[in-house]
Every structure is written in structure tokens, then in C-alpha cells.
């Protein structure tokens, strides 16, 4: 089998022009689960972390600042510009505007020093039908000394009508057993300000308009701006804590409207969730120690 093509980058791509390109091309995209998609794998060697930007991210997500260790979700931020380069291109069939992050699975195999040097690889793995449209699966791998120390698989949903038979939603596949369990015990109640999306966007670079202002969110069918899925996960993991070697799974099941109030709940098996005042589950996930 012919290996997929690889493009090696010399610097982190700028997000502003990629967002602009994706916005301009979005109206011309015709998403469908059987569409072709780019197979190129983007590689960025010699990556070092901007410690000031890391501190801003830690503050908005609730992680402790000043430690020489990356939060488990931070490599997603590092790889996001590469993912955006792929998803904003002409060859990517889903419109970037309105794309919703629906799930993520993260594996951290070793400590991640904030002062370390890393290599990133990002690629689109597949397109799959979803009951509300089409999902793209994007894989990010981070290496140190030639070894994969962190990797993730994220799914992004483009909502549209289609007649293709859809697979069950990700939450049904991976965490469906939660439906039969009792409600997780509440640990804390968080009141989320209306600017959470803008503050996280400034720290992470993810300026999808559905997260920024009520007006731009309404253009995509949301009554108000919604919190980034990765912010809700990071905030939950900051409260929950994670071992050094860990598998994290999360499904972003319903948007968290901003401003708003959510309840963080968890149990001693590693399960956690964010619930609304009406009991609706917005995020469900689990933290599982790995033996390495």
C-alpha cells in the first residue's frame, strides 16, 4: 500500500488567514459522508511552547499555572492550526463555518514538559455519516524523541440533511452505558460568563463564530454563543485531575449556551459530566489511568 503523502511545515500556520479562507469557501462546500477528503499528513518538527500563551490558556481553563507540565488538553491547541490548514482547504468537503466539535479521545503516555521540544502530525482520518449530517475524524499525534507521547482523535460535525443511513451518535457508541447508571453526584456549580468563548478563543486561537457573539452564533442556528467543547473538557479535567499516563474520552452532547450555569459532576470510577439546570447532559466523559 502506498503511504499517505506528507508535508513538512517550517512554522505554525497563521490561523487568521486560514479562518478567512475557510469562511470564503464554506458556501461552496457540499458535505456528504462519501465525499473525498485530503489524505496529506501535515508534520511540524521542532515545536516549542509559548509559555505566556500557555499561562493564558491555563487561567481561562482553571489549570494551575507555572508548572513545567502541559495540561492534557493543551496539545490539541498546538495541533489546531495544522487541523485548520487541512479543514479550510478546497479539498476538504465540509464547510468550516458552523462546524461543531462532537467528541474527542485523548491518550497521554508520558509527562509533557512545557519546556520540551516536540513534533506534531495532523491528518484527516475519515468521513462518516451522522444522524444530523457528516462527521470528519481528525487525528493529532505529538512526538518527543521519536516516540508518540500524546495523541487525540476528534470528530467534527457539519449539519445537513442526507438520506444515507447514519451510524449511532458517538455518545451512544462509546459512553452509552452511562444512560443506565444513576446520575453522577454533583461536585460544583459553575456560572459561565458571556465572554468565556471570546477569552478561550484568545488563548487557543479557535475563533469559530459560533463561540464568539450571539449574533454570529444565530447565523448558524444557535440562540446564543456556545462554549467551545474543548474548553468544557479542559475545565472539567482541571477540576477532576488526571494521572500522567491517561486515556480521556468525552462526548459533547449538547451545546453550553453563554452566559449560563452548569453543574460539574463526577464519581470515583473516573466518569464526569457537565449538566444544565434542567438536568440535560452537555458533556459526558471518563478519565482512565493507563499502565505503561
Give the pLDDT confidence of 10-30 residue by residue, as tens digits. Answer: 999 998 899 899 999 999 999
Residue 69, Cβ density class (10 Å: 0-12 exposed, 13-18 middle, ≥19 buried): middle
**pLDDT-derived band at 171, boundaries 50, 70, 90:** very low
Give the pLDDT confidence of 94-108 residue by residue, as tens digits. Answer: 999 878 899 999 999
User: How far apart, in Å, do the first and last CA atoms of the chain sit?
Assistant: 31
**What is residue 181's predicted lDDT score, i.e. its pLDDT?**
52
**What is residue 99's predicted lDDT score, i.e. its pLDDT?**
85
- Sheet containing 186-192, strands listed edge to edge, beginning at the edge strand earlier in sequence: 6-8, 41-48, 117-130, 133-144, 147-159, 100-108, 246-252, 281-289, 271-275, 260-266, 186-192
* CB count in 10 Å sphere of residue 165: 8
**pLDDT-derived band at 167, boundaries 50, 70, 90:** very low
* φ and ψ of 44, to 5 deg: -125, 105
**pLDDT-derived band at 166, boundaries 50, 70, 90:** very low
Helix axis angle for 229-240 and 196-204, nearest 10°, is 90
**What is residue 282's predicted lDDT score, i.e. its pLDDT?**
96
Give the pLDDT confidence of 250-280 residue by residue, as tens digits. Answer: 999 999 999 999 999 999 999 999 999 888 9
**What is residue 112's predicted lDDT score, i.e. its pLDDT?**
95
**pLDDT-derived band at 163, boundaries 50, 70, 90:** low
pTM attached to this predicted model: 0.89
**What is residue 221's predicted lDDT score, i.e. its pLDDT?**
85
Q: Residues 36, 37, 41, CA angle at the centre, nearest 5°?
A: 145
**What is residue 16's predicted lDDT score, i.e. its pLDDT?**
87
Give the pLDDT confidence of 272-282 residue by residue, as tens digits. Answer: 999 998 889 99
E strands, 20-108, in order: 41-48, 100-108
Residue 261 contacts residue 192 (beta carbons within 8 Å): yes
**What is residue 162's predicted lDDT score, i.e. its pLDDT?**
64
Tell me the percentage of the chain whose pLDDT exceeds 70: 92
Above 50 in pLDDT, residue 248?
yes
**What is residue 2's predicted lDDT score, i.e. its pLDDT?**
80
**What is residue 115's predicted lDDT score, i.e. its pLDDT?**
95
Helix (H) or strand (E) holding 264: strand 260-266
Mean per-residue pLDDT, 56-62: 96
Amino acid at each position: 500500500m502506498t503511504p499517505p503523502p506528507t508535508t513538512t511545515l517550517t512554522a505554525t500556520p497563521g490561523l487568521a488567514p486560514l479562518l478567512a479562507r475557510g469562511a470564503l469557501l464554506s458556501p461552496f462546500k457540499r458535505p456528504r459522508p462519501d465525499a473525498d477528503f485530503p489524505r496529506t499528513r501535515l508534520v511540524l518538527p521542532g515545536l516549542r511552547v509559548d509559555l505566556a500563551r500557555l499561562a493564558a490558556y491555563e487561567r481561562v481553563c482553571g489549570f494551575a499555572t507555572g508548572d513545567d507540565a502541559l495540561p492534557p488538553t493543551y496539545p490539541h491547541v498546538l495541533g489546531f492550526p495544522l487541523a485548520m490548514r487541512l479543514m479550510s482547504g478546497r479539498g476538504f468537503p465540509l464547510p468550516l463555518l458552523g462546524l461543531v466539535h462532537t467528541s474527542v479521545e485523548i491518550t497521554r503516555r508520558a509527562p509533557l514538559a512545557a519546556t520540551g521540544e516536540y513534533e506534531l502530525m495532523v491528518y484527516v482520518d475519515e468521513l462518516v455519516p451522522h444522524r444530523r449530517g457528516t462527521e470528519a475524524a481528525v487525528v493529532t499525534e505529538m512526538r518527543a524523541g521519536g516516540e508518540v507521547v500524546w495523541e487525540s482523535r476528534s470528530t467534527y460535525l457539519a449539519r445537513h440533511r442526507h438520506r444515507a443511513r447514519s451510524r449511532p451518535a458517538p455518545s451512544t457508541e462509546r459512553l452509552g452505558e452511562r444512560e443506565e447508571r444513576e446520575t453522577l453526584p454533583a461536585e460544583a456549580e459553575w456560572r459561565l460568563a458571556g465572554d468565556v468563548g471570546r477569552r478561550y478563543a484568545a488563548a487557543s486561537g479557535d475563533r469559530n463564530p459560533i463561540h464568539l457573539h450571539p449574533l454570529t452564533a444565530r447565523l448558524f442556528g444557535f440562540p446564543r454563543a456556545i462554549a467551545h467543547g474543548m474548553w468544557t473538557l479542559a475545565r472539567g479535567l482541571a477540576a477532576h485531575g488526571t494521572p500522567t499516563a491517561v486515556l480521556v474520552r468525552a462526548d459533547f452532547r449538547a451545546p453550553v449556551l453563554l452566559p449560563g450555569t452548569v453543574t460539574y459532576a463526577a464519581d470515583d470510577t473516573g466518569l464526569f459530566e457537565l449538566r444544565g439546570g434542567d438536568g440535560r447532559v452537555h458533556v459526558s466523559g471518563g478519565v482512565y489511568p493507563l499502565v505503561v
